[in-house]
Amino acid sequence: MNLVEGIFVKPFQDMFGAPDFLIQVLWEGLVAGVLYALIALGFVLIYKSSRIFNFAQGIMVVFAALTLVGLYEKGVPALLALPLTLVVMFLLAVAIERVVLRPLVNQPDIILFMATIGITLFLIGFGEIIFGGENKVMITEQLFIPTGSFTFEPFGGFVSIEQKDLTAVIGAVLLVAGLILFLNKSKMGRAIRALGDDHQAALSVGISLSTIWVLVWFIAGVIALATGIVWGARAGVSFALEVIAFKALPVLMLGGLESVPGAIIGGLAIGILEKLFEIYWGQPLLGGNTETWFAFVFALIVLLFRPQGLFGEKIIERV
Amino acid sequence: MNGTEPAIAPATPILSVNNIEVIYDHVILVLKGVSLTVPQGGITALLGANGAGKTTTLKAISNLLHAERGEVTKGSIVFEGNEVQALSPNDLVRRGCIQVMEGRHCFGHLTVEDNLMTGAFTRRDGKAAIRADLDLVYEYFPRLKVRHSSQAGYTSGGEQQMTAIGRALMSRPKMILLDEPSMGLAPQLVEEIFEIVKKLNEEQGVSFLLAEQNTNVALRFAKYGYILESGRIVLDGEASALRENEDVKEFYLGVAGEGRKSFKDVKHYKRRKRWLA
């Protein structure tokens, strides 16, 4: 009886008993969710335009953050290090297209997937050689990201919102809005969507695969850099960051591999739900630390009922 | 073949394919020496049954073969005086040679208008010119204008075929390789599409190489025709001559010369066919 009450009654009593704490939990979940969404977006873009499941997305986050901090440590001013890092990510995209994608075009998907594992290993080694393997601190202040926190008191309680989290959320929203605008309104964006729909036809109308691939990998690199800055500001920059990319997997299952809105909504949903579950069910009933597995179990349950994911692209079929 | 030697071929054809051989996956020989020419401003039909190699020929010209692990191992393809085998499809579109693939291949999730606009990917002559060409495409295909904001995947087969041709037009082509435009369309619609092709040819000066199974329609609109059988050209001539050719009538137009056939004639048919190949 106690268990039933613990599952169905008490959590909700807690939530409505302390709404200020609930708001705090939801906010924390939202911030984590924004990051999951960003990483998932990187996966989706690359998958849509080249049918490659990019295992290297996680390490690209680390590599971007590491390059930024590493350049700063080598004496480059922070505001110059940022555009320089973008240049590095662009060169990386060009190199990947030339060395990895172009020779492997038309190979089975699994081979390209293996190639991205190769890219992962290369980036780990390369990053370590150039910038060293020890943990680094993100140059938050130098990039003029505010570090204080707002507090306010709804319902007579107390909620604290860190300014860097707020900056991260606003930055992510702007980035995503810009990306959606780019995909829907620009010539290149249209070409990316066309390539996602029909590879052969895209080739036949003269869409250049190499151009699009470089572009898409560069966008994924930019997203990785944004993710790296935000995550690095919260947890420091280390190769351990790579594992957050795996958090994107349940997001992708949930959102569907090809859907941009799916990645965003899926990311936010997972971020918020796992926080809520951890605080109101995990800690009292299961001894905590549920965040490591909740997303996967949740995705698994969703997949049982919707194998194409919640927002998987509808296959248009005429009869 | 039929007395009238190709009087239409002007000095330099826009496209000439010289004795090409195509091999898929390094082992499957599909084209065994195909040669053909398309005159400047002409409509040339490439006819033949399923699997004869029509699509392969077109894809060899537009360089889409590579994406299917096929390659041209012998012969040459000359477009406007330059050999083009080594170019990417992208370069070829830029030079004015574009393929409309069999089965339409519209971008299903894009709107009709976005589909058309993808055709302008290779162009560098500014938004105004592209906009003007979009209006031109809508003039030729008024139905696309009505449907411009629907997702292409939800439009009818005829509309998709029009979208595919319109999309190719947006690249300002000098030549369109049109693969099986009649596939899966009602006869009336086939007629409509071919009328538009003829208009485009006359008014915009676009040359066409037309792969068709529907020999009847194709020979009415084309000026010259080639018949392809198991990877070889077995017959060619002016469309009017081909239409009158006894073999073409019998094998491709389904017009029997002398009433009912006996089994003896069928054997004769096979022997003649083998001789042709």
Separate counts of helices (H) and strands (E) for chain B: 11, 10
pLDDT of residue A313: 60
- Across chain A, the runs of DSSP E, i.e. the strands, are 149-152, 159-162
Sign of CA dihedral A170, A173, A179, A180: negative
Rounded distance, CA A72 to CA A37, Å?
Answer: 28
CA dist A257 to A54, A189, A196, A311, B193, Å? 11, 18, 11, 9, 38
Alpha-carbon gap, residue A258 to B275, rounded angstroms: 53
CB count within 10 Å of CB B123 equals 18
Helix (H) or strand (E) holding A274: helix A260-277
pLDDT of the residue at B131: 94
In tens, the pLDDT along B26-57 reads: 899 999 999 999 999 999 999 988 888 999 99
pLDDT at B275 over 70: no
Amino acid at A233: A
The complex's ipTM works out to 0.83
- The whole-angstrom distance between residue A207's C-alpha and the CA centroid of its chain comes to 28
What pLDDT does residue A51 have?
82
Identify the residue whose tokens are 């250049």: A208
Tell me which H or E stretch contains B178: strand B175-179
Nearest residue on chain B to A201, alpha-carbon basis: B105
Neighbours of A243 (CB within 10 A): 11
**Interface probe, candidates A104, A187, A205, A314, chain B, greatest B C-beta count within 10 A:** A205
Q: How far apart are CA A123 and CA A117, in angstroms?
A: 10
Please list the residues that pair with B208 across neighbouring strands: B43, B176
* pLDDT tens string B60-69: 999 998 878 8
pLDDT of residue B265: 57
Residue spans of alpha helices (H) in B170-214: 187-199
Q: Provide the pLDDT for residue A315.
A: 60
Of B114, B153, B168, which is closest to A190 when you measure between CB atoms? B114
- Over residues B71-111, the pLDDT tens digits come to 899 999 999 999 998 899 999 999 999 999 998 899 998 99
Query: What tens digit of pLDDT does each residue of B130-165 get?
Result: 999 999 999 999 999 999 999 999 999 999 999 999
User: Which residues are within 8 A (CB) of B234 and not within 5 positions of it... i.e. 6 or more apart?
Assistant: B227, B228, B276, B277
Could you say which of B98, B151, B167 has the minimum Cβ distance to residue A316? Answer: B151
Cα(A242)–Cα(B117) distance, integer angstroms: 39
CA distance A230 to B261: 81
Q: Give how far A94 is from chain B: nearest CA, Å.
A: 19
Q: Nearest by CB to B109, from A106, A197, A199: name it.
A: A197
Cα separations in angstroms, A313 against A179, A201, A257, B98: 18, 19, 8, 29
Distance from the Cα of A216 to chain B's closest Cα (Å) equals 16
DSSP string, B111-174: BHHHHHHHTTTT--S-HHHHHHHHHHHHHH-HHHHHTTTSBGGGS-HHHHHHHHHHHHHTT--S
Residue of A nearest to B179 (CA): A204
Q: Is A193 close to B98, i.e. CB distance below 8 A?
A: no
Residues B46 and B36: beta-carbon distance below 8 Å? yes
Q: Does B129 touch chain A (CB under 8 A)?
A: no
A175: number of Cβ within 10 Å: 18
pLDDT single digits (tens) A103-129: 887 788 889 899 999 999 999 999 889
Which residues in chain A have Cβ-Cβ distances shorter than 8 Å to B117? 187, 190
Mutation target vs B (from A44, A192, A200, A204; most B CBs, 10 A cutoff): A204
| Alpha carbon distance A219, B80 (integer Å) | 38
With an 8 Å Cβ cutoff, the interface of chain A facing chain B consists of 105-106, 187, 190-191, 193-194, 196-208, 313, 316, 318
Pairing of strands B224-229, B43-47: parallel
Residues of A within 8 A of B88 (CB-CB) are 208
Inter-chain touch A318–B153, beta carbons under 8 Å: yes
Whether residues A207 and B121 touch (CB distance < 8 A) is answered with yes
What pLDDT sits at residue A317? Answer: 60
pLDDT score of B9:
47
- Fold of the CATH domain A2-305: ABC transporter involved in vitamin B12 uptake, BtuC (1.10.3470)
**Three-state secondary structure call for residue A299:** helix
Give dist(CA A294, CA A311) in Å, integer: 20
* Superfamily of chain region B30-106+168-244: P-loop containing nucleotide triphosphate hydrolases (3.40.50.300)
pLDDT at B262 over 60: no
Q: Are A193 and A45 in contact (CB under 8 A)?
A: no
Interfacial B residues in 193-212 facing A (CB < 8 Å): none
Residue B29, strand partner residues: B23
Sequence ranges of the domains in chain A: 2-305
Mutate to test the interface with A, among B95, B104, B109 (most CBs of A within 10 A): B109
SS3 B37: strand
Task: Write the DSSP string, B223-242.
Answer: SEEEEEETTEEEEEEEHHHH
pLDDT of residue A140: 77
On the question of pLDDT at B270 being above 60, the answer is: no
| Residue B259: Cβ-neighbour burial (10 angstroms; 0-12, 13-18, 19+) | exposed
CA distance B219 to B233: 16
Percent of chain B with pLDDT over 90: 67
CA A113 – CA B66 distance, rounded (Å): 21
- Angle at the Cα of B184 (from B179 to B188), degrees rounded to 5? 100
Q: Measured between alpha carbons, how far is residue A234 from residues A31, A81, A269 in Å?
A: 11, 20, 20
Residue spans of the domains in chain B: they are 30-106+168-244
Nearest CA to B37 among B8, B14, B6, B54?
B14
User: pLDDT tens, A57-98?
Assistant: 889 999 999 999 999 988 888 889 999 999 999 999 999 999
Distance to chain B for A187, nearest Cα, Å? 7
- With contact defined as beta carbons under 8 Å apart, do A78 and A18 qualify? no
Q: What is the pLDDT of residue B274?
A: 59
Highest mean pLDDT among A10-19, A49-58, B71-80: B71-80
Helices (H), A51-162: 57-73, 78-95, 109-131
The pair of three-digit structure tokens given for residue A183, joined into one six-digit string: 């995909």
Tell me how far apart the alpha carbons of residues B188 and B169 are, in angstroms, rounded to a whole number. Answer: 23
CA B147 from chain centre, in angstroms, equals 26
